[in-house]
Every structure is written in C-alpha cells, then in structure tokens.
Amino acid sequence: MLWIMLLAPLVGAVLNGLVLRRAPKWISHLVAVGSMAVAFAAAVAVYLQMMKSGGEPQVYFALNWLDAGAFHAPFQYIVDRLSGLMMLVVTGIGTLIHIYAGGYMHEEEKTYRFFTYLNLFVFMMLQLVMGDNLMVMFVGWEGVGLCSYLLIGYWFHDDNNAAAGMKAFLVNRIGDIGFLFGIFLTYKHFGTVSFSELRELIGAGSLDAVKVGAIGWITLCLFIGATGKSAQLPLYVWLPDAMAGPTPVSALIHAATMVTAGIYMMTRLNFMFYLAPMTMQVVAVIGGLTAFFAATIALVQSDIKKVLAYSTVSQLGYMVMACGVGAFEAGVFHLFTHACFKALMFLGAGSVIVAMHHEQDMFKMGGLRKYMPITHLVFLVGVLAIIGMPPFAGFFSKDEILWKAFIGGGPLLWGLGAVTAGCTSFYMVRLLCLTFYGAHRGGHHDSHAKSHDNSHDHHAHKADHSHGNHVPHETGVDMWGPLVVLALLSASVGFLGVPHVLGGHNLFEEYLKPIILIPESAQEHWEFLEATYSHNLELGLMAASVIVMVIASGTAIALYGRGPASVLTKWKTSFAGAYSTLSNKYYLDEFYFAKIVQPVRDMAEFLWAFVDVKVIDGAVNGVAELCSFMAGSISFKMTGSVHRHAMVLVVGLVCLLSVLVFN
Amino acid sequence: MPDFSLILTHGTFHILAALITIVSVCVVASRHPVKSAVFLVVDLFLLAAVYASLESHFVAAIQVLVYAGAVVVLFLFVIMLLNLQPDQLKGVRFSAVEAGTLLVSLIGFLIMAVTGLQGKPTGLGDGSLDVVAIDAAGGNTYVVAMKLLTDFIWPFELASILILLAIVASIVIAKKEKKNLSA
Amino acid sequence: MVPVEFYFILACVMFTLGLFGALFRRNIIMVLMSIELMLNAVNLVFVAAGRSIGNVDGQVMVLFVITVAACEAAVGLAMVIALFRKYGTVNTDILRLLRG
C-alpha cells in the first residue's frame, strides 16, 4: 500500500514526460490528477492502518542503496504520526492543486511538461517526509529543489524566469552544504544516519560531553540547510523571485510543502535539537527576525503574488521560531493550518490573475467582489484565517506559537511575534481591499503589463484584445472547486488544536506528543511548566493579539477600503526613505549581488581569461609547438641516403653484438 | 720428424686464405665492374677449394656450378647490357668519420670472433670428421642428399617455390613499359 | 684440421671487406657484388662450423644460402635494370626518395 502511494506520482511523471508527449491536454491533466488521487487514497489507507495500531511507527524497507562498510543508508520509509500527517498534507493538498492547475494552464499549448514536473515534485517530497534516514531525506531534499527550479523557470524563454529558477536552486544549494555537513558530522559521531537508530542513541540516555558538543554543531549545520529550504534569513531571497513560476507551483511548493521541509526536519530530529540550547536560540531568533522582516516588506508591495510570498516567509518564520523555543507541536500545527490557507490564497490569487488576464498589480484591480463572488468568499476565509480571527484555523495555531514563544523565549520574542501579527493583519486586509473592494481600477487590459506570470509570446489571448474594456468573470468550477475545499479546511482544522485554557483538549498537541522526545539530561531546561504560568496570562496574551489584529485590520480597511486613500500618497513622500527601503526589500538582493555574486563572477572571468586561455591552452599549444620544433630540427638528418642508413645499421649491429658477447 | 700432413693442411689453408683476402680486396676496390666480376669468380673458385679441403665436396661443386657459373654470369650479363663504364669518380668515397666508424666495426668483428670464442666451450667438436664412416655410408654427396631430402625436405620445397617467385619477380620488374600504341 | 677459429677469422675479414664495399661503393652493381661476397663469408662459416660439429647440417644450410643468394641477385639485378631505364645511370645517388 505504501508503495502505491510512493510510486503513483512517479508513474504519473514518467507517463506524462515520456509517453504522453503528443496527447491532448486533458489526458495529461487526467493522468496527473489520477496519479495524485491514487496516491492520496493510498496515503489515507496507510494512515488509517497506522493509527489503528495505536499510532506506532512502522518501518518499511524498500531496497538497499548505500552499503559501504559500516555506513548503511537503505531506501527505508517510516510511517508514524508525523510523517503520516505530512504525507496526507502533501498528497491531499497536492491533489487539489493538481485539479486546479488544469484550469489555470488552459492557455498553454502543451502541458505535459508541467504535469511531469509537478508529479515528480510530489514524488520527491514524499521521499523527503517518509524517509527513515538522513540520506533518503536528502534525496528528497535535493529532488524538490530540482523540481522547484524546473517549475519556477517553466516559461524559461523569458530570461527573468530562468534567472529566478537559477537563483532558487543556487541559494538552496548554499543551504544544502550545511545540510551535508550535518549528515557527515552525524555519521562521524554516531555511526548511523537512520532516524530510528539516532532516536534510540540520543534520546535514550546521557551522552558524554564530546557528543553533546558535536550535537550542537550538527544541529547548527542542519539548521543552515533549513534556512535555505524554508526561506529564513539570510537565504530567503529566492522565494519572492520564485513567484515567476505558474501560480499553482507557488501554491504547492512555496506555500504548502517544500518550504516546510526545514520545519519537518527539525521536528523529526527534535531529540537532537533539545540537546543544543545554543542552536535553539539561534533558531528562535532567526525565526522571529525573519517573520518580522518579511512582514514589513509585505506592507508596501504592489504585486499580489509578492505580498503572498513575503507572507509565506513571515509565517515560516513563525514556525521556525516555534521550533526554536522547543514547541515543535505548535510549529507543525501552524504548518498544517498554513498549508491550508496559504494554498487557498495562492490559488485564489491565481484565479484573480487569470480573470485579470495575467495582471498582477493590485493597484490595477479592485471591485472584483462583484465579478468573482465565489473566489472572493473563499479568499476572505483565507484572509480571516491568516490574520488570526477566531474561530478560524490561524487563530489557534498562531496563538499557540505566540504563547509558547512567551513562556519559552521571553516577552521580547513574543513582542516581535505580536508586531509581526499586526503587520500580517494589515497587509492581508490591504490585499483583500485592493483586490476585491472599491471601484474596479483595471480600465484597459494591457496584457503586456509587467507580469512575471506570462512570458510566452504566442497565446490565444491576442484575439481577445478586440473587445477593449474586458470585464473579469468568475473562473470555472475546476478552479473554484478546490478553493472551496481548502476554505472549509481553513475554517475547521483550527479546532484540532483548541488549547486547554479555552476548554479544548488540544488534540493536535496530544497527537504529536509521542514524536517528541526530550532526553533526560535536557528535560529540566525544556519542560514547559505551564502550571507556573497562570491561565489568565495566557488568556490575556490571546486577547492582546486579537486586539492588535482588530486595530491593524481596521486601519487597513480605513486606508484601502474604497481603493487607496489619498493620504497614502502624502505619506509616501514624507516617509520616502522608509518607503523605498521597504519596497526595495531592504536592498538585500543588491547587497548579495555586489558582495557575493559579483566577486564570484569576477573570479570566474579571471580564471577563464588567464588560467584557461593563457596557462592551459598555452601549455597544450606549447607542447604541439615543441614537437613541431623538434621535428624540424631533426628532419635535416634524413638525407635519404641509403649508404647512411646502411652504415648506421652496421654500427648499431656492432654495438648490439658487442653487448651480447661481452656480457 | 715434422708432421707433413699437418704442415700441408695448414699451409694449404694459409695460402688460400691469403689469396682470398687479396682477391676480395681487389673485388671491392676495382673501378671497372667487369674487373670486379672476374675477381669475384676467382674468389669463388678459391672458396670452393677451401670447401674441398674441408671434405665438403658437394658444396664445392655447387659453388662453382651455381655461384660462379650462374650468378656471376648474370652479373656480367647485366653489366654488359647496361654498358657500364668504369666509375668516373674515385671508387671509394667516404668521410673520415664514416671510415673511422667502419674501421672500428671491423676491428670489433675480429675481436668478437677471436676473443669471444677463445676459451669458451663452443660446442664444436675437435673437427675430426669420420671420413671412413661417411665413405662407408655412400660418400659426402650421398650423406648430404639424404640429409637434405629427409630432415630438410620442407625448406627444400620452399626453396624451389622461392626460385619460382624470383623468376616471376625479376621478369615483372625488368619488363619494358608498354608504350601506348594508339594511333 | 686447421683450428676452426682460423676459418672464422677469414670469414670475418671477407665479410668486413664486403661490408665496406656495400657501404662505400657508388655503383649499385658493385654494391650487389659486395653483398655476394658477404654471403660467401657466411657460407664459409657454415661449412667450417658444420665440419667441426661433426655432421653435414652446415653443408645443407649452405645449399639454401646459395639458393637464396641466387634469387636475390636475380631480383636485385632486375631492379637495377628498371632503375637504369628510369634514371639513365646506376649511381647510388638516384636512391634518395627517402630524403627529408
């Protein structure tokens, strides 16, 4: 059963990529969705089977891969509560997005490539979350990076898209170096890379100081990998650029699944991270800063997808911060809820973009509530979820994180998170207002506007310019159908994690408890002594965050409710410095380019012009010249005289014979 | 009483050796090709005499018949055909370095022949051939023929093929090129 | 019998003289004749050695050498005729196609 789930996406990818190249589009779509549906059904079956046996981890062995001396890394998969959850998320939300993608890509002529990559991505992601050892996880890690590159640069004829794909891949790679070092160190100090074995070794008892020190380095290296994959400071720069890819890609990869790999990895190895308080501090601080940073940038973005991208980075920061303060369950809970509502919002944005003929500038939208009622409704649900309006999902998960941050990381960290939450509310409501409310500002439809989504020159839309003022209309059911499902999820899954203080049982935390293993030596450091903190404090903090959300949302509605308020233009000039810093993303990309990319380029140029051309080519050519010279200098000796030949022969013969005789 | 037979054999040999050397020098050093050919004939006769003194009668006869009688005649034919004149330049022309090198090689040969073999077991017998036994067996020719046609039958046949090839080859090589008779 | 080394020395002398002739004569016919001289020296070695070993193998070998020498002389002279036809002379200077 497990194999069906694992292999169905791969089969879909192979079929689409190799066999069905000339098939009509609906067949490619059907194969892709079909393989995903099969995978999801199998996932549900495996999950139920696991839960029936009490949620105990089950290990499945596939085949032997690496076997060198003492190093074993077979293709082995573990189905337990955490990976079961992840596989349901990946296959479930993946299926919905696959269904949606068919409608989104209907303008494309050939879609088999797209669905191949998409299915391949799911296959790789499953490797990542189901693997029982670091090597299989790394295979998935790299694989999703590859698919991300392929999909971001899907319309590669436009150089910007190709460059964005490259950027994603290379920045990820930098993180991967850290990950690899983590794997090496793990093997060196513990002799194994299997999760089950590591859990036994480390979680069991006390380790000597050397090993504990090593764990500190291991976790740091692994976290560097997470920084790259999960878009934290300083390696988040690829995520906003990744919006160059088709919107379903953004939804699947950069919202729901791939970027959560870092958080998954840390949760998987929670027993290690508990033994490394220094790393955890780093993790928490980076998570908090990332959340704040990204949220501030999102405040002034005008491209709808960019806002969502920075929002994703910010929410990932929340999840990482949760892991950093030891609240892995809260982080995973937020992962789960975020997957639902962020995918929802991305897909919704995709519907909007398609309806607006690939216009992505929010300031050219507006008033779409009239034209796209269903999309508006589901998008509203998503926004309410993310800003933390009770009783939607985001409220419970975000507040859980904030509470744990307060008691685990101190009020400063909580304050950072709270301010970020305020910013989140502001920019999400701003997005909602600019897109759906007010007057429709999209007068003429200029599909040649700066849009990163559209890069192919030949598309059927050229015919559409015949009717000038085009009125946007609702998308087909194949696109809003999945959105409705996701909206329902966003509204309801929050109830899985109702905290005790509000009368619930926090099912989610209980569910993941067996995964968490705090080694004895670290227990007193990490136990959240909830008893010492009063319930009132928790309720008070919760109320505070709700108030912040209300204030921020109200401000946004006031400023944008009927289109951008005129006061904004005044503020833009008075706060010009702050505005330009934010809208230029704190100039981080420019900084990287000047300090890192340019020197590498210069060195490459030097190596080419000097080393390659002069030294290496010179050496090779020099050898040829030498041969030619030597030939020239000797050739005059070839007189062609037979006599001379004979004489040399005789002399040689004499020498030979004398050697033989006098030996 | 000195051993006359010994003196005779040794003396014969030494006289023959001296003559052979002188004649060989003449062969090599003559300017006129015809003179060289004639000296070569004399040389071959002298060698036949040496073979005879070594009880190798058959070989001696063959030497005279084939070598002196056919090969050298062939040489003379060609010389006449080509109407060769005496070499205009000096017969031998060499530079000092070349001559020196060759002299060294000559000396080398001699040294090798003499010192290399002296005192080493050469596997050669004392040279006493059982003449009586050979006569009893039918004479030198008979013994040689028997050896040739039993132990060495393969080389014998191949040699005849070789002669055939040589005939064909020399005819082909020396043919006049056919002139085009197109009108 | 005369000690066999004497025959060898004689053969060496003949051989060397033939060698000199083959290397330094400017006339191709003379070169061929010098080669014949060298072959005769070899024959002498064979006969003498065969005699001193005690059987007639040496003489049989000589027969073969004579045969081969005859063939070689025939073919060589044919080549000389062909060369003469082409170049008009039998000086060894004409043999320089390997120059360079």
What's the confidence (pLDDT) of residue A205? 64
Which of C9, C15, C27 would best serve as a mutation to test chain B binding (most B beta carbons within 10 A)?
Answer: C27
**Closest chain A C-alpha to B106 CA, distance in angstroms:** 9
Among candidates C23, C97, C99 on the partner chain, residue whose Cβ is nearest the Cβ of A643:
C23
- Report CB contact under 8 Å: C62, B59: yes
- pLDDT-derived band at A456 (thresholds 50, 70, 90) equals very low
Percentage of chain A modeled with pLDDT above 70 = 90
If one compares A180 and A61, the residue with the highest pLDDT of the two is: A180
Using one digit for the tens of pLDDT, what is the confidence trace for C22-78? 887 888 899 999 999 999 999 999 998 888 777 788 899 999 999 999 999 999 999
When mean pLDDT is compared across A264-278, A574-588, B75-89, the lowest value belongs to A574-588
Of A306, A312, A311, A302, residue with least CA distance to A366: A302
Using one digit for the tens of pLDDT, what is the confidence trace for A592-613? 777 888 888 888 888 888 777 7
Average pLDDT, chain B: 81
Q: For residue C3, which residues of chain B lie inside 8 Å, CB to CB? A: 127
CA B154 to chain centre: 24
Using one digit for the tens of pLDDT, what is the confidence trace for A294-351? 998 888 888 888 899 999 999 999 999 998 888 888 888 888 888 888 888 898 888 8
**What average pLDDT does this structure show over A126-138?**
90
Residue B126 has pLDDT above 60, yes or no: no
Q: For residue A647, which residues of chain C lie inside 8 Å, CB to CB? A: 23
What's the confidence (pLDDT) of residue C13? 85
What's the confidence (pLDDT) of residue A353? 87
A192 close to A201: Cβ distance less than 8 angstroms: yes
**What average pLDDT does this structure show over A505-520?**
74
Among candidates C19, C95, C100 on the partner chain, residue whose Cβ is nearest the Cβ of A642:
C95
Say how far apart CA B160 and CA B156 lie, in whole Å: 7
What's the confidence (pLDDT) of residue A625? 84
Say how far apart CA A171 and CA A229 lie, in whole Å: 9
Tokens of A425: 């509310």
What's the confidence (pLDDT) of residue A153? 87
CA A196 to chain centre: 26
**What average pLDDT does this structure show over A499-526?**
72
CA A198 to chain centre: 26
Report ipTM for this prediction.
0.91
Using one digit for the tens of pLDDT, what is the confidence trace for B32-52? 899 999 999 999 999 999 999
Among candidates B24, B125, B147 on the partner chain, residue whose Cβ is nearest the Cβ of C53:
B125
Percentage of chain A modeled with pLDDT above 90 = 7
Say how far apart CA C24 and CA A67 lie, in whole Å: 75
Which of A641, A647, A649, A660 would best serve as a mutation to test chain B binding (most B beta carbons within 10 A)?
Answer: A647
- pLDDT-derived band at A446 (thresholds 50, 70, 90) equals very low
- Report CB contact under 8 Å: C100, A638: yes
- Hey, where are the domains in chain A? 276-456+473-575, 590-662
What's the confidence (pLDDT) of residue B131? 64
- DSSP output for B77-133: HHHHHHTPPPPSS-SB---HHHHHHHHHHHHHHHHHHHHHHTTS--S-------HHH
Among candidates A639, A646, A650 on the partner chain, residue whose Cβ is nearest the Cβ of C99:
A639
If one compares C40 and A374, the residue with the highest pLDDT of the two is: C40
A339, A350, C61 from A97: Cα distances, Å: 12, 11, 97
Using one digit for the tens of pLDDT, what is the confidence trace for A480-496? 788 888 888 877 777 77
Helix (H, G, I), strand (E, B) or coil at A441: coil
What's the confidence (pLDDT) of residue A593? 79
What's the confidence (pLDDT) of residue B66? 92
All structural domains of chain C: 4-87 (1.10.287.3510)
C19 touches chain A (CB under 8 A): yes
Q: For residue B58, which residues of chain C lie inside 8 Å, CB to CB? A: 59
What's the confidence (pLDDT) of residue A568? 72
C2 touches chain A (CB under 8 A): no
Residue A173 has pLDDT above 80, yes or no: yes
When mean pLDDT is compared across A125-129, A272-276, A446-450, B118-122, the lowest value belongs to A446-450
Average pLDDT, chain A: 81
- Report CB contact under 8 Å: C23, A641: no
- pLDDT-derived band at A210 (thresholds 50, 70, 90) equals confident
Tokens of A436: 């759906």
What's the confidence (pLDDT) of residue C73? 95
Amino acid found at A21 = R
When mean pLDDT is compared across A149-153, A373-377, A559-563, C57-61, the lowest value belongs to A559-563
